[in-house]
Amino acid sequence: MLKQYLQFKLSQKLSPQQIQLMKLIQLPTQAFEQRIKQELEENPALDTGKEDKDDDTFDEFDNSEDDYNDNDEINTEDINIDEYLSDDEVPEYRTQTSNYSADDEEKVMPYAAGTSFTQHLRNQLNTFRLDDEEREIAEFLVGSVDESGYIRRSLSDIMDDLAFTQNVFTTEESIEKVLHIVHQLDPAGVGARNLQECLSIQLHRKEKHPDVELACNIIDKAFDQFTKKHYKKLLQKFDITEVQLRDGIEEIERLNPKPGGSYAGNNKMVEHVVPDFAIKIVDGDLELTLNGRNAPELHVSREYNDMMKGYKESKDKSRSQKDAVMFIKQKLDAAKWFIEAIKQRQQTLFVTMSAIMHYQKKFFLTGDERNLKPMILKDIADEINMDVSTVSRVANSKYVDTPYGTKLIKEFFSESMTNDQGEEVSTREIKKILEIVIEEENKKKPLTDEKLATILKEKGYPIARRTVAKYREQLDIPVARLRKKI
pLDDT (average), residues 369-397: 87
Say what the pTM is: 0.51
Q: Among residues of the chain, what percentage have pLDDT more than 90?
A: 9
Residue pLDDT, tens place only, 412-444: 887 767 666 666 667 777 888 888 888 888 888
Query: Which pLDDT score, from 0 to 100, does residue 39 have?
Result: 84
pLDDT tens profile 147-183:
888 888 888 888 888 888 778 788 888 888 888 888 9
Which residues contact residue 128 at a Cβ distance below 8 angstroms, ignoring those fewer than 6 apart?
138, 181, 184
Q: What is the model's pLDDT at position 279? A: 94
Residues 276 and 406 sit within 8 Å (Cβ to Cβ): no
CA distance 310 to 8: 46
Does the structure show a pLDDT above 70 at 5? no
Angle between helices 319-359 and 377-384 (to 10 degrees): 120
Q: Yes or no: say if 185 and 124 are a contact pair by the CB < 8 Å rule.
A: yes
Residue 320: pLDDT band (50, 70, 90) is low
Radius of gyration of the chain (CA): 32
Mean pLDDT value across the chain: 76
pLDDT classification of 400: cutoffs 50, 70, 90: very high
Report in angstroms the alpha-carbon separations of 446 from 143, 234, 437, 464: 43, 19, 10, 18
Give residue-wise pLDDT tens across range 29-40: 888 888 888 888
Spatial contact of 395 and 410, defined as CB atoms under 8 Å apart = yes
pLDDT of residue 18: 76
Distance, CA of 386 to CA of 18 (rounded, Å):
14
Interval 375-393 mean pLDDT: 89
Whether the predicted pLDDT of 93 surpasses 70? no
The percentage of residues in the chain with a pLDDT greater than 70, rounded to a whole number, is 74
Helix axis angle for 449-458 and 465-474, nearest 10°, is 100
| Residue 123 clears pLDDT 50, i.e. is over it | yes
Whether 350 shows a pLDDT value over 90: the answer reads yes
- The answer, yes or no, to whether residue 77 has pLDDT greater than 80, is no
Average pLDDT for 339-350: 90
Stretch 349-354: mean pLDDT: 94
* Secondary structure (3-state) at 96: coil
Q: How confident is the model at residue 107 (pLDDT cuts 50, 70, 90)?
A: very low
Predicted pLDDT of residue 225:
85
60-69 per-position pLDDT tens digit: 333 333 433 3
pLDDT at 310: 61
**Backbone torsion region of residue 229, taken as left when φ is above 0, otherwise alpha when ψ lies between -120 and 50, otherwise beta:** left
Quote the CA–CA distance of 419 and 457 in Å, as a whole number: 9
pLDDT at 101: 42
Q: Is a pLDDT exceeding 70 seen at residue 332? A: yes
Higher-confidence residue of 398 and 53: namely: 398
Q: How confident is the model at residue 191 (pLDDT cuts 50, 70, 90)?
A: confident
pLDDT band at 230 (very low <50, low <70, confident <90, very high): confident
